[in-house]
Amino acid sequence: MTASKSSRARNARSAAQSGGARNAAKGGTAVKAGNAAGNVAAKPNGTAKPNGTAKPNGTAKPNGTATRDRNGRDQARNAAARNGRTARGPRTIEIADETAERGPAPWLQIATFVLALAGLGVSIYLTIAHFTESALAGCSESGVVNCTKVTTSPQSYVFGIPVAVLGLAFFVFAVAIMSPWAWRASRREIHLARIASVVVGIGFVLYLIYAELFIIGSICLYCTSVHVITFVLFVLTAFAAAAWGLKPGAPWKLVPARQPE
């Protein structure tokens, strides 16, 4: 009995010691596990390398580089635009392509100017002959052709002004308005004045022809030459207005040199 009791007491002590050891072992393992869990959980949050360093967002190298590149492109574009505005090449003389901008043909400008000079010369001679009462050279004084009868008739005055003086004033204006410089003038009023002058001139010529044929009964060769010159000027001016219009412009103009595309 005593042996069995002592034996059970020893077994109980051994079991107690074994249980304490197991509990201690279990406690140590839990601590280690707790440490391990703490370490594992701490690593992502503690170090936080992806979020802590934040190299892509912190340094912002891509954004900074893009900003510099964008600024560089903008500056290059602005410089190209300035160069395009300022460096357009030299200005050259070339023939205008549109007919309206060329104006009347050179032959028409020269022809009208020469006719106006011829009419001015005849008008000067008639004016001198009128005030000096001299006979006109090469003109008959009898029959149908009678210059003296025409130049001394009452119809040789209009509103108290000698017809020769009126013709002189008309051709002085015609020489100026029919010159090549006037044909190429930039003011529209000049071209309108040219048309108005020849319309008035041809109307006056028609009256004088009527007076010579139906009232005086004679004609004057010098007066007839003035009438023919005025009629030709009227025809050429009307033709120029119909063909080229009233848009002023010279056959040559200053335009910028064309840039290669």
pLDDT of residue 69: 64
pLDDT of residue 55: 47
**Backbone φ and ψ of 246, nearest 5°:** -100, 10
What is the model's pLDDT at position 250?
43
**Per-residue confidence band for 243, with pLDDT thresholds at 50, 70 and 90:** confident
Q: Which residues of 1-10 are buried (b: 16+ CB within 10 A; e: fewer)?
A: eeeeeeeeee
Amino acid identity of residue 171, one-letter, is: F
Q: With a threshold of 0.75, does the pTM exceed it?
A: no
d(CA 97, CA 100): 9
Q: What is the pLDDT of residues 172-216, one digit of tens each?
A: 999 999 999 999 888 889 999 999 999 999 999 999 999 999 999
pLDDT digits (tens, 9 = 90+) for 40-97: 334 444 444 444 444 444 444 455 555 566 776 777 677 665 655 544 555 544 444 4
Q: According to the model, what pLDDT value does residue 53 have?
A: 45
Residue 36 has pLDDT above 50, yes or no: no
Whether residue 229 has pLDDT greater than 50: yes
Q: Is 96 exposed, middle or buried (0-12, 13-18, 19+ CB in 10 A)?
A: middle
| 123 close to 164: Cβ distance less than 8 angstroms | yes
Domain boundaries, the chain: 2-76, 99-255
Structure letter (DSSP) for residue 133? T
> Contact 134/147 with Cβ under 8 angstroms?
no
What letters, b where the CB count within 10 A reaches 16 and e where it falls short, cover 195-205? bebbeebbebb
> For 148-167, how does the pLDDT look when each residue is reduced to its tens digit (9 = 90+)?
899 889 999 998 999 999 99
Give the residue, 15 or 36, on which the prediction is more confident: 15
pLDDT at 171 over 90: yes
Q: What tokens does 94 get? A: 């070339």
Classify domain 99-255 at the CATH superfamily level: VKOR domain (1.20.1440.130)
Kindly report, residue by residue over 97-137, the tens digit of the pLDDT.
444 445 688 999 999 999 999 999 999 999 999 998 888 88
Nearest CA among 236, 231, 114, 179 for reference residue 223: 231
Mean pLDDT of 24-53: 42
Whether the pLDDT of residue 143 is over 90: the answer is no
Q: Residue 84: its pLDDT value, please?
A: 52
